[in-house]
Amino acid sequence: MKTGKAASTRFHALKAIGMARAWASAKARDLDADIRHGAFITPADAEAIADHLTLDVGAQVRANHLASEAAKPSRKVVGLEQFRPRPAKRDVQARSASAAEVAARIGYVADYVEWLLEHRLSYSDRNRPEIQSLQETGRKVVAQLRQRRKGLKSESNPDEALEGVPQNVVDLVSAALLPEAPQNPFKSKFIRARNQLMWHLYLSTGGRREEIVTVQVKHVTFASRRLFISKSKTLLREVPISAQAAELFDRFIAEHWAGLPQAARRRGFLFTAENGTQLSCRAVNRVFETIRVSIPGVSKNLTPHSVRRHWNDRFSELIDRQSPEKRMPVEQEMQARNILQGWSKNSAMGARYAVRHLRRKADQLGEQLAKEIATKLPEAANE
């Protein structure tokens, strides 16, 4: 298996592999043993595993239970009526996971099967006919799984999945969240100041939803304008914040946070309700929902994660503005992006954003060229 991945990536990979092994176990089989020592898995098995991975966890558990029961030898004489679906259970239908999640699961399992295949072949004489047959079957199974994954990934445009909030929307929200703004949708001074600070921390760091909402006061260094992200699904890191975010932090602490109950201040979380209760991720979702609904012109896709994508768009534009002698190599650019966004050094996310930005620039240049060509064409003769 591939190493050097973020902890969350390894977790999801192991989870997907566990799903495939549970599928085999329900059929009284051992997936690892079949691949390592047995006759390998067939293309039909691969198709069944891929189908199983499309189900959500609850549906997988039910399917495994039914398969396990069917695999058990039984000597009891039973009536067919026992197997007739009861009205109360007719809606036990298999719910599907999202296409992106299914694609990731199948990809992880394909990598795992390929890794086990290579491990087995490395200890075998590849000139033997049965080993050559095994290799051919194994390659076919891996290719089949990857083809299923490719089909799922093609259902969505990867560029659209990375779409950030437009700058005009960012400006609109920033203006509306000023505490004195008449269009500010929040009522109390505390909540207005808190939400404005939260907005600017998301905006200036590109942090994930949970990374910002769980920030503690001690994690913000006003003098150096730094924020330490201590809770992340990937990598912990220290990132810079804007001068405006630092000023808003200092003012919020002095004017509002310092007046919270002592127990709340002892816990140290920066973002709380007015009674000192720590904000949840769901509460952050409600804040963004209120902004979307209450401020005219705000995009429907405004979320903490689309703000994160906006940060990546601005990062790409900043790199473009660097003079040739100061601009860092592409490899260093991707590494810098990975560091600031909490991705592992081997993550492909930095490259995805870089490619998307290049495509957008190509589109803009293409449109500009099309306009120039059109203006130089002779006008059609009037008939």
DSSP secondary structure string for all residues of 152-220: HHTTS-HHHHTPPPPHHHHHHHHHHTSTT-TT----SHHHHHHHHHHHHHHHHH---HHHHHT-BGGGE
Q: What is the pLDDT of residue 37?
A: 81
Instruction: Convert 328-339 to b/e letters by CB count within 10 Å (16 or more is b).
Output: eeeeebbbebbb
Q: What is the pLDDT of residue 349?
A: 77
Q: For the residues 148-152, what does the mean pLDDT come to?
A: 78
- Between 125-139, 278-292, 311-325, 338-352, the lowest mean confidence (pLDDT) is in 338-352
Question: Who has greater pLDDT, 161 or 274?
Answer: 274
Judge whether 304 and 288 are in contact, CB under 8 Å. Answer: yes
Determine the longest span between alpha carbons in the chain, in angstroms.
91
Q: What is the pLDDT of residue 322?
A: 84
Residue 22's pLDDT band (cuts 50, 70, 90): very high
Rounded mean pLDDT of the chain?
84
- Between 125-139, 158-172, 257-271, 282-296, the lowest mean confidence (pLDDT) is in 158-172
Q: What is the pLDDT of residue 177?
A: 97
Q: What is the pLDDT of residue 84?
A: 52
Instruction: Give the amino acid at 1.
Output: M
Indicate the fold that domain 167-321 takes in CATH: hpI Integrase; Chain A (1.10.443)
Instruction: Convert 164-187 to b/e letters by CB count within 10 Å (16 or more is b).
Output: bbeeebbebbeebbeeeeeebbbe
Residue 158 has pLDDT above 50, yes or no: no
User: How many beta carbons lie within 10 A of that of residue 316, not counting itself?
Assistant: 18
Residue 332's pLDDT band (cuts 50, 70, 90): confident
* Chain centre distance of CA 269: 25
pTM, to two decimals? 0.59
Highest mean pLDDT out of 175-184, 307-316, 369-378 = 175-184
Q: What is the number of alpha carbons within 13 Å of residue 169 lying toward its C-beta?
A: 19
Q: Interior CA angle at 301 toward 282 and 59, to 5°?
A: 60
Task: Tell me the Cα Rg of the chain.
Answer: 27
User: How many beta carbons lie within 10 A of that of residue 95, not counting itself?
Assistant: 11
Question: Who has greater pLDDT, 83 or 360?
Answer: 360
Q: What is the pLDDT of residue 164?
A: 82
Q: What is the pLDDT of residue 361?
A: 63
Q: Where are the domains of the chain?
A: 7-72+92-155, 167-321
Measured CA distances, 141 to 5, 170, 179, 351 (Å): 25, 47, 60, 29
Residue 341 has pLDDT above 80, yes or no: yes
State in Å, rounded, how far the first CA of the chain is from the last one.
Answer: 70
Residue 92 has pLDDT above 50, yes or no: no
Judge whether 234 and 11 are in contact, CB under 8 Å. Answer: no
Q: What is the pLDDT of residue 77?
A: 54
Q: For the residues 119-141, what does the mean pLDDT come to?
A: 86
Bridge partners, 223 (sequence order): none
Q: What is the pLDDT of residue 135?
A: 87
Question: Who has greater pLDDT, 349 or 87?
Answer: 349
The 10s digit of each residue's pLDDT in 181-202 is 999 999 999 999 999 999 999 9
**Tokens standing for residue 305:** 């994660």
Question: Who has greater pLDDT, 93 or 260?
Answer: 260
Alpha-carbon dihedral sign for residues 369, 371, 374, 375 = negative
Q: For the residues 56-84, what does the mean pLDDT come to?
A: 70
The 10s digit of each residue's pLDDT in 206-233 is 999 999 999 999 999 999 999 999 998 8
